[in-house]
């Protein structure tokens, strides 16, 4: 038994979509969320800079006594997960796997769309996964340009958001995609817009966050890290930005609980 918190880290607000699923799956665990905020977005930054930012974030979480870290940022996972696992071993560190495998297995049309940041789409992790599971499948990719900024500024429900998402998604639909993978943890906040755009077209939207929560539960059991039965869970929110941003993280998290 270990009642230390599970840490969840993202460039900003997006990892709260993972926080929500971990909270739902493991209600007896304390959670420590770090949304960088100061350096968001990460998507087009050089790999070396992302590694440095991720290292600083994980170091801060380890200093707070966490027992497991979830890198709830696809861009940071693509750039830094191997480095982080090497530096902070033996602490379990969970990254964001591109949900290409389930989409390729489920497609009926043979066309899968992937929305992600530029850095994630250029990463070895995505390329390996797409090559392994995408044989015989057309994988159509598009960077979600402007998506992160829309979420960070609470503009998910605006006409601007609909136009931005439609611009990225329509070419996938025209090619016949019947699965669209969300390759950034910010993107599920745009799910209502996405669902309106694909309505009536038989398209499934694939969010990897529930699978990440299941992976966290598996690792807690494997390493005997579950909180004690009488543990009273707490949630704490940290940022490298200012107190106003930290408050936004907390408000958005509590508003996203389902």
**Residue percentage of the chain with pLDDT more than 90:** 89
pLDDT classification of 257: cutoffs 50, 70, 90: very low
Return the higher-pLDDT residue of 139 and 98: 139
Cβ atoms of 94 and 212 closer than 8 Å = yes
Mean pLDDT of 27-34: 98
Look at residue 237 in the predicted model and tell me its pLDDT.
Answer: 98
- Give the distance from CA 205 to its chain's centroid: 14
Here the tokens at position 98 are: 């591109």
- Could you report the per-residue pLDDT of 93-115, keeping only the tens digit for each? 999 987 999 999 999 999 999 99
If residue 52 lies in a helix (H) or strand (E), which one and from where to where? helix 47-63
Mean pLDDT of 36-41: 96
Mean pLDDT of 236-249: 97
Look at residue 124 in the predicted model and tell me its pLDDT.
Answer: 85
Q: How far is 244 from 255, CA to CA, in rounded Å?
A: 16
As annotated, the residues of the chain forming the CATH 3.40.50.1860 domain(s) are 6-96+209-255, 100-206
Q: How many residues does the chain have?
A: 258
Mean pLDDT for the chain? 95
Q: Tell me the three state secondary structure of residue 207.
A: coil
- Could you report the per-residue pLDDT of 205-214, keeping only the tens digit for each? 999 999 999 9
Look at residue 258 in the predicted model and tell me its pLDDT.
Answer: 40
Q: For the whole model, what pTM was predicted?
A: 0.92
- Could you report the per-residue pLDDT of 52-87, keeping only the tens digit for each? 999 999 999 999 999 999 999 999 999 999 999 999
**Residue percentage of the chain with pLDDT more than 70:** 99
Q: How far is 23 from 30, CA to CA, in rounded Å?
A: 9
CATH fold, domain 100-206, is: Rossmann fold (3.40.50)
* Whether residue 184 lies in the annotated active site: yes
Look at residue 67 in the predicted model and tell me its pLDDT.
Answer: 98
Catalytic residue among 66, 73, 104, 164: 73
Q: Residue 194, exposed/middle/buried by CB under 10 A (0-12, 13-18, 19+)?
A: buried
If residue 180 lies in a helix (H) or strand (E), which one and from where to where? strand 179-183
Mean pLDDT of 152-172: 96
What is the Cβ-side half-sphere exposure of residue 228, based on CA atoms within 13 angstroms? 6
Catalytic residue among 40, 66, 104, 184: 184
CATH fold, domain 6-96+209-255, is: Rossmann fold (3.40.50)
Name the most confidently modeled range: 40-49, 122-131, 212-221.
Answer: 212-221
């Amino acid at each position: 038994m270990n009642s230390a918190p599970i840490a969840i880290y993202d460039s900003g607000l997006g990892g709260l979509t993972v926080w929500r699923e971990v909270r739902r799956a493991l209600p007896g665990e304390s959670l420590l969320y770090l949304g960088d905020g100061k350096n968001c977005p990460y998507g087009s930054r050089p790999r070396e800079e992302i590694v440095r930012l991720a290292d600083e974030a994980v170091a801060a979480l380890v200093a707070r006594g966490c027992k497991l870290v979830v890198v709830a940022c696809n861009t940071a996972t693509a750039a830094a997960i191997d480095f982080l696992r090497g530096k902070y071993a033996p602490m379990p560190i969970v990254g964001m796997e591109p949900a290409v495998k389930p989409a390729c297995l489920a497609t009926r049309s043979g066309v899968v769309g992937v929305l992600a940041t530029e850095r994630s789409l250029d990463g070895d992790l995505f390329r390996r996964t797409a090559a392994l599971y995408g044989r015989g499948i057309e994988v159509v990719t598009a960077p979600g340009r402007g998506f992160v900024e829309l979420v960070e500024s609470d503009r998910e429900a605006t006409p601007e958001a609909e136009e931005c998402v439609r611009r990225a998604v329509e070419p996938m639909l025209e090619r016949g995609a019947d699965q669209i993978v969300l390759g950034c943890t910010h993107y599920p906040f745009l799910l209502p817009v996405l669902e309106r755009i694909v309505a009536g077209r038989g398209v499934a939207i694939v969010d990897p966050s529930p699978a990440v929560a299941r992976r966290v539960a598996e690792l807690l059991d494997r390493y005997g890290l579950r909180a004690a039965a009488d543990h009273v869970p707490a949630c704490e929110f940290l940022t490298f930005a200012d107190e106003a941003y930290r408050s936004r993280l907390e408000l958005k998290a509590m508003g996203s609980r389902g």
